[in-house]
Structure 1
Amino acid sequence: MKRIITLIIAMTAVTTAFCREIRGLVVGENGTPLDYVNVVLYHDSIYVTGTVTDTAGAFSLNTYIQGKLTAKISFVGYETYTSSIPNSGNLGTIKLVPTTVTLREVVVSVTRPSTTMKGNALVTDIDGTSLAIAGTANDVLARIPMVVDNGGTLEVFGKGTPEIYINGRKVNDRQELAQLNSQDMKNVSVITNPGAAYAANVKSVILIRTKPPKGDGFSGTIRIDNGFQHYFRTGNSIDVKYRTRGLELFANYGWWYGDNRDNRSNEMTTTTSIGTYNQAFQTIGKQFYNDMTGKIGFSYMFNDRHSIGAYYQNSWNRHHSTGTIPSEVWQNGILIDCYDSDVNNRSTALPRHYVNLYYNGQAGKLSIDFNADYLWYKSRELSLSDELSEMGEDRTVNTLSINHNRMFAEKLVVSHPLWHGRLQAGEEYTCTRTTNIFTANITEVPDADNRVDESNIAAFVEIAQQLGRFNIGVGLRYEHVEFNYYEMGQLRDGQSKTYDNLFPSLNVATKIGQVRMGLNYSGKTVRPGYGQLDGAVSYINRLTFETGNPYLKPTKMQTLEYVAQWSQFFAQLSYTYFKDGVYHTTEPYGPDGEATIIRTANLDRRHYFQAFAGGQFNVGIWQPRVNIGVMKQWLTLPVNGKPMKMNTPGFLFQWQNAVHLPLDIWLNVDAQLMTTQWDNNMKLSNTPWYVNAKIYKGFVNNTLSVTLEAKDMFNSSQNDAIMYNDAVHIVQKNFSPGRSVMLTLQYRFNTTRDRYRGTGAGNSEKSRF
């Protein structure tokens, strides 16, 4: 390692001493920085080197040639800019002009597609499009290509829940997205195969960039959401900032209050040595929620090369669920019991302390980004169930679960120009502890006292080079993980593990004619979440239990991906090989095996393919988007003693429409359809679809706006899930959440972008909590 560091330092010194640096800043017609602009150097019409601008619109190249050089700067939708290089090498600020062609009295403007491929990301512009008035960041992301709204949960198609960043800072509380206004967003990048700079378990990343800051003084946004989804619900947020010179003070507060409906039915078949048990039960209830979050912090820019900042955030969550569960139990076709359960659950998560501090700076050509995070919170869940049996004994079941979680993390990333590109290196350290104390008043569910201590030391390096038409990036990440599992205060050697892994990544991007394309590879691992590792047995009802598995192994993944973009069309193909994937399995439980326990386990292997394609169009006042996706796995598991293929592909169809009506009114109508598909041993057998509609009107230059929105207008988004296992077969039908209507009022004054540049540390570990 010392030799490698010495070699890197020597290479950097040689580059600095003999290379000539060419630099500049590229902006658009309104002064907004343009990223991923092509910058190419020529010497007497001979290609020398090239690069693209970064997220701030800046570029820097190094060359050994000291003679006369010419720079050619080009970007889709803008006129090409050509300039000779001054002796200083500094081209200053370069303003590109949009391409226009004048024909008599008609002006035809060329507008670049709002979704383009840049490196290994699909980037969608928000500023200046219909997405700018979508509402919040949640509303915007639901309409971004490759992002799917799965029953209120945002997922990247085929990649699950993504990590989300706002201006480089990790979003740890998704309610923060509800406080970011769409009018403040510049663009959104979706990365479906992240490289070595991200933790080995991160399968997808969404990067949100907001518009440049404007002005000093006070600014803020007040937003009020009120509506119905079977029950009344409300969401209220306020975001204020004060800015003077390099100092910015900020604070925000959000409050969400209301009820959710819980309506689902289950049918369960359990095959045992003494016969077949059939169980049917329905859950009818509702959940009351009362959630608050607040943040206060500052950032200070000494100059354009150095800034620091810190913030403190606290969250407060109280949930209360009530309902009834009528059930029937049959043995070999004979009814053996009927019972009703009155359920009363209370859960609290308070307080939740979260602190972040950062330094962002530049020393010469060396860029430095440092973050430190501390997270601590406690959650408590009390469950009461009164079971009234017609043929057996009545009983009352009480369970209590108390969890403590804490995490410290720090991350340092440095980067420096190297030859025709850039070298980036960094380290990340994460230390976590999570404890769970579980008690129950019945013998079928044993008490538990578990603790997990985990430390992760990671180092990574990425080298990006522009070689002719090709932009090549190579990365390598090393992680050393120590996982210690304690039960009743005693270390369990069998469940405790140490991992040492290397994770490579490679991406190659180029442009052939008008087609941009890229090929990406990555090796990753996903360590189980703490809930999946928890060996405590949870009580659902007298015939259904649930538990984790402390012996779970991490999942290893090898992913190969191809992405292409031409004009307003894009496409993606991806193949992933999973080793030791985590899934849910079921087994007979109890003295006679009449009950069922659901537990986590490792699959041996699984092959997975996905494809996604889409296009966007402009037809007068109508702006439609059409996307289609397909997912298919190759997996065979035993069911009722016979092998069963779980390979049926699933299809996704999205049709999104924005119509610009008179009086500057916007109408959005979006539809989505998902066909039957497999996810491990779970078959989503229904065909859920929905239609959402929204109408928006702004007043006083959009400082005041009114939005009326209806979701799932035909109440058709419910889906059925079937879990297939060797001895147990479960069918679940969900009838929630259903249609809703929401009225939003928003007032903005002197709105500016947050200058906070913290990116966070230990981001993947936070999601495991």
Structure 2
Amino acid sequence: MKTVLTFVIAIICVLQDFAQTSDPLDTAQFSSQEEALIGTLLSLMEDKNENTLCRNIIGKVVDENNSPLDFVNVVLLKADSTYIAGTVTDENGGFLFEKPQGNPKFIRLSSIAYSTKTMDIPATGNLGVIQLNPESVMLGEVVVKSNRPVTAIKGDALVTNVAGSQLEHAGTANDVLTQVPMVLGRDGNFEVFGKGSPAIYINGREVQDLAQLSQLNSADIKNVEVITNPGAKYDASVKSVIRIRTKRPHGDGFSGTFRAQGVMQKYFRTVDQANFKFRTGGLELFGNFGYIGGKFQSSNRVDMLTQSTTVWNQLLTQDGSMRTNEFFGKAGFSYMFNDSHSIGAYYSNGFTKQRSEHTGISRVLADGQPYDNLSMYGRSNNNTLPKHHANLYYNGEIGKFGIDFNMDYMWRKNRNPMFNNETSDTQNNSLINSLGVSRSRMLAEKLVLSYPFGKGGIEFGEEYTSSRFSSEYNTDATLIGNADSRVDENNIAGFVEIGQTFGQFNLGVGLRYEHVRFEYLENGQKKEDQSKIYNNLFPSLSLSTMIRNVQLSMSYTHKTQRPSYADLDGTVDYINRFTLEGGNPFLKPEKMHSVELMGAWRQFFGQITYTYKKDPIMNTTYPYADDAEVKLITMANFPKIQNLQAFVGAQFKVGVWQPKINVGIMKQWLTIDYADGRKSLNNPIGLMQFQNAIHLPYDIWLNVDMQWMSGGNDDNMKQSSSSYLNAKLYKAFFNNQFSVTLEANDIFNKSNRDATLLNKDVTIHKFNTTNNRTFMLTLQYTFNSSRDRYRGQGAGTNEMNRF
């Protein structure tokens, strides 16, 4: 009997595979008697503990509004509730177990903010559409409903859901990111708490121009992922990643967005843009145009203490302004042959013209006694023209192989004439003219291949970047003279990442190899002692699991941080007769080791990271040439620095009020040479955020956000505390086609952070007195809104950031 049953089941399996290819057995093609027979045979096999079960187990999970739920944990259980296998739902809410072994009897589904659900597995294996209900938490007499967006863990990423939440009404991607946990800043100037500036992706394509964030409507965003310890797939100098995913595309025809923003911050400025798109079938043509213009104010006070044979103390008060005019344009196309093949390209260009002026008064003390009074006037013109950038990509699948190829080219020229006039009460006057011209060029390509492997997959690929940065500096200052330098760098990298599931654990292992050839030239001559070749391996490891309703993830990465080209530039700039500033072509890359632990439970999440840096790059000062009275501010490698950071957050919903609370702390261990001894810079920096979204009548959204950051040490700086209070009103009309946003940022003008730069010979106290109180009115009109189909990820973006 056993042999006969096995034979019959084998025949059913063959017929199922033949009939479905990739789909599960469709019981509609059988009569009720045949379906009952199949179920009986399967039950008999389970009773005899056979492992020849051939059915796939599939289903789709939705929320109370029938919207797909991704990242839901799905677990197969035996009759005695023993764990067999687990997975998570995809972006469409679907899950699939291919012919699982072990005779699963039950399936259990769980997700943060939703009630856990356990179900019997039907004989067919098809569970259909499964709805999860929101879970409420009772606090005294107040019911707090856990509502999306909820920050959950997906592998090594913190995921904030935007679709179906109040963040849909935020305005643009810029406004969404200000509300994402661990992300600080605004208007494209973002950083991840304790990790610096991130690489930002939209639908897998790396953002080359941060103005794209203001072009993306918040209503089109599905979720945002923040990766604070990125693996081998990313450049070894990338310390954090933000990935934005938008909703599925829809509709053909002509569409566009017009956006006008007026900003008042002592002076007026405007940001205007127009984005157009035409789609028919698989073809999409697009063009983006924009203008930024207006005037910016800057005011500061600097106290500079210089230790040499004489103790010089310079007390400088400076006021300045900058007028900018920037135009940019971008045009391109993409073509989707089908869901498996897509090509595209774009070209962008533009120019920036900036004119700056500043006036200042400097009082100079020598050994505490009055020495001189200086009146200063300076102006400069910073012109970047042109700004060529082009991208070409192919994205597709051949069989089970996924292919992603990108090529980027960038070329820029910057011209910066400067004029400085110093009038002295007791010394000779100083009149300095200088002209700096820099050129940057980059060619990069990247190929990523993916393939299903075991109970997971493998990604591997290569990346090549060739870049050049040249700088010419001419001045009539006899103290420093002219300079001509060039940096050539070629980086060849290969990487592999493997992800596998072992029971309740998901394991990821990655390895990246980079070969870097760095050449430094002065006046056309290669400097052998400053030119280097690096060969490095960068491993990464991640492990994630779920214990009951607690998501856990642990990761390790080895990274590097190469100095920017400005830091490597040996050109010396004139600041004043006592102080010069320049780069250091002898800089070595930083090496970093990071270990991170993340956890999430219901509407709470937390993260803790330890980082060890070898050869960190920080500001320092040296005597200039043989003149001990004149100091050069430059960059240098320090021996080491250790950092520990922690971040916890929670979010709730109480009626029309949706509050979020975040708390973070950063602490470093660093000791430097200072004055005649050693100084420890170990004071921690704390962060508190209280963000509130309130749904007012007439579908108006009010946001009130508060932040406080304590004083403490960051590298060899001592920073003061700062805070802000922002308020925003948002109202959409005509089915979200037209929106009006009114904002007041830093209402009490407390966001400036004063900083003290601590070096062996020079201590610089900088007090930022710029008025940061800002009022903004934004009008946006969108017609036939649709998601960008362009799938290019870009290559060499981190290299472009170094320029």
1:218-297 mapped onto 2 (5 Å cutoff): 218-273=254-309, 275-297=310-332
Residues 512/575 of structure 1: CA separation in 2 closer, same or farther (3 Å cut)? same
Please, which of 431, 437, 441 is the counterpart of residue 396 of structure 1?
Answer: 431
Partners of 1:136 and 1:710 lie apart in 2 by 16
CA RMSD of aligned residues (A): 2.7
Partners of 1:290 and 1:19 lie apart in 2 by 68
1:345-356 mapped onto 2 (5 Å cutoff): 345-356=380-391
Contact 2:589-2:615 within 8 A present in 1 as well: yes
Q: Which residue of structure 2 aligns with residue 158 of structure 1?
A: 194
Q: Deviations over 1:101-155 (max 9, x none)?
A: 99xxxx9987455211111111111122222222221221112100112898311
Deviation, 1:69, is 9.2
Partners of 1:429 and 1:83 lie apart in 2 by 52
Does structure 1 residue 519 correspond to structure 2 residue 554?
A: yes
Partners of 1:151 and 1:276 lie apart in 2 by 42
Q: Which residue of structure 2 aligns with residue 761 of structure 1?
A: 795
Please, which of 117, 130, 155 is the counterpart of residue 119 of structure 1?
Answer: 155
1:14-163 mapped onto 2 (5 Å cutoff): 26=60, 28=62, 34-40=69-75, 47-55=83-91, 75-76=111-112, 77=114, 80=117, 95-99=129-133, 111=147, 114-149=150-185, 153-163=189-199
Partners of 2:591 and 2:194 lie apart in 1 by 16
Partners of 1:237 and 1:286 lie apart in 2 by 24
Please, which of 420, 425, 429 is the counterpart of residue 464 of structure 2?
Answer: 429
Q: Deviations over 1:584-620 (max 9, x none)?
A: 0123436543333210000101111101111111111
Residues 588/304 of structure 1: CA separation in 2 closer, same or farther (3 Å cut)? same
Does structure 1 residue 628 correspond to structure 2 residue 663?
A: yes
Q: Deviations over 1:690-716 (max 9, x none)?
A: 101011111122211111100110111
Partners of 2:397 and 2:108 lie apart in 1 by 27
SS of 2:535's equivalent in the other structure is: strand
Residues 98/768 of structure 1: CA separation in 2 closer, same or farther (3 Å cut)? same
Deviation, 1:96, is 4.1
> What residue ranges of structure 1 are gaps of 5+ in the alignment?
1-15
Contact 1:372-1:760 within 8 A present in 2 as well: yes
Q: Which residue of structure 1 aligns with residue 233 of structure 2?
A: 197
Partners of 1:399 and 1:708 lie apart in 2 by 43
| Greater CA drift, 41-50 or 341-350 | 41-50
Residues 24/442 of structure 1: CA separation in 2 closer, same or farther (3 Å cut)? farther
Residues 133/100 of structure 1: CA separation in 2 closer, same or farther (3 Å cut)? closer
Q: Which residue of structure 2 aligns with residue 5 of structure 1?
A: none
> What residue ranges of structure 2 are gaps of 5+ in the alignment?
1-21, 23-51, 137-142
Residues 461/680 of structure 1: CA separation in 2 closer, same or farther (3 Å cut)? same
Deviation, 1:259, is 1.0
Report the residue type matching 2:487 in the other structure: V
Does structure 1 residue 170 correspond to structure 2 residue 206?
A: yes
| Greater CA drift, 405-414 or 536-545 | 536-545
Contact 2:520-2:526 within 8 A present in 1 as well: yes
SS of 1:531's equivalent in the other structure is: helix
Please, which of 693, 696, 711 is the counterpart of residue 658 of structure 1?
Answer: 693
SS of 1:194's equivalent in the other structure is: coil
Deviation, 1:49, is 3.6
Please, which of 735, 741, 745 is the counterpart of residue 711 of structure 1?
Answer: 745
Please, which of 721, 730, 752 is the counterpart of residue 764 of structure 2?
Answer: 730
Q: Deviations over 1:429-481 (max 9, x none)?
A: 11111111111111112211111111111111111111111111111111111
Residues 470/737 of structure 1: CA separation in 2 closer, same or farther (3 Å cut)? farther
SS of 1:767's equivalent in the other structure is: helix
TM-score w.r.t. the length of structure 1 is 0.92
Partners of 2:545 and 2:135 lie apart in 1 by 28
Contact 2:674-2:758 within 8 A present in 1 as well: yes
Please, which of 411, 417, 435 is the counterpart of residue 376 of structure 1?
Answer: 411
Q: Deviations over 1:608-661 (max 9, x none)?
A: 110111111111111111111111101111211111110011101111111111
Contact 1:260-1:737 within 8 A present in 2 as well: no
Residues 33/761 of structure 1: CA separation in 2 closer, same or farther (3 Å cut)? farther
Report the residue type matching 1:435 in the other structure: S
Residues 64/655 of structure 1: CA separation in 2 closer, same or farther (3 Å cut)? closer
Q: Which residue of structure 2 aligns with residue 647 of structure 1?
A: 682
Does structure 1 residue 693 correspond to structure 2 residue 712?
A: no
Q: Deviations over 1:645-680 (max 9, x none)?
A: 100111011111111111111111101111111111
Q: Which residue of structure 1 aligns with residue 775 of structure 2?
A: 741
Q: Which residue of structure 2 aligns with residue 13 of structure 1?
A: none
Partners of 1:494 and 1:753 lie apart in 2 by 51
Partners of 1:66 and 1:410 lie apart in 2 by 46
Residues 66/235 of structure 1: CA separation in 2 closer, same or farther (3 Å cut)? same
Contact 2:269-2:293 within 8 A present in 1 as well: yes
Contact 2:58-2:97 within 8 A present in 1 as well: no
Residues 629/164 of structure 1: CA separation in 2 closer, same or farther (3 Å cut)? same
Contact 1:258-1:290 within 8 A present in 2 as well: yes
Please, which of 560, 568, 572 is the counterpart of residue 607 of structure 2?
Answer: 572
The structure that has the greater radius of gyration is 2
Please, which of 680, 698, 702 is the counterpart of residue 736 of structure 2?
Answer: 702
Does structure 1 residue 325 correspond to structure 2 residue 325?
A: no
SS of 1:593's equivalent in the other structure is: strand
Q: Which residue of structure 2 aligns with residue 537 of structure 1?
A: 572
Q: Deviations over 1:56-93 (max 9, x none)?
A: 66666666859999876654437758686999x9x7x9
Q: Which residue of structure 2 aligns with residue 7 of structure 1?
A: none
Contact 1:698-1:706 within 8 A present in 2 as well: yes
Q: Which residue of structure 1 aligns with residue 4 of structure 2?
A: none
Deviation, 1:36, is 2.7
Contact 1:32-1:212 within 8 A present in 2 as well: no
SS of 1:132's equivalent in the other structure is: helix
Partners of 1:48 and 1:628 lie apart in 2 by 38
Partners of 1:527 and 1:33 lie apart in 2 by 42
Partners of 1:503 and 1:717 lie apart in 2 by 38
Deviation, 1:541, is 2.1
Q: Which residue of structure 1 aligns with residue 35 of structure 2?
A: none
Residues 540/109 of structure 1: CA separation in 2 closer, same or farther (3 Å cut)? closer
Residues 423/19 of structure 1: CA separation in 2 closer, same or farther (3 Å cut)? farther
* Number of aligned residues: 744
Partners of 1:164 and 1:580 lie apart in 2 by 27
Contact 1:31-1:95 within 8 A present in 2 as well: no
Does structure 1 residue 407 correspond to structure 2 residue 448?
A: no
| Greater CA drift, 572-581 or 712-721 | 712-721
Contact 1:98-1:110 within 8 A present in 2 as well: no
Contact 1:356-1:371 within 8 A present in 2 as well: yes
Partners of 2:135 and 2:518 lie apart in 1 by 64
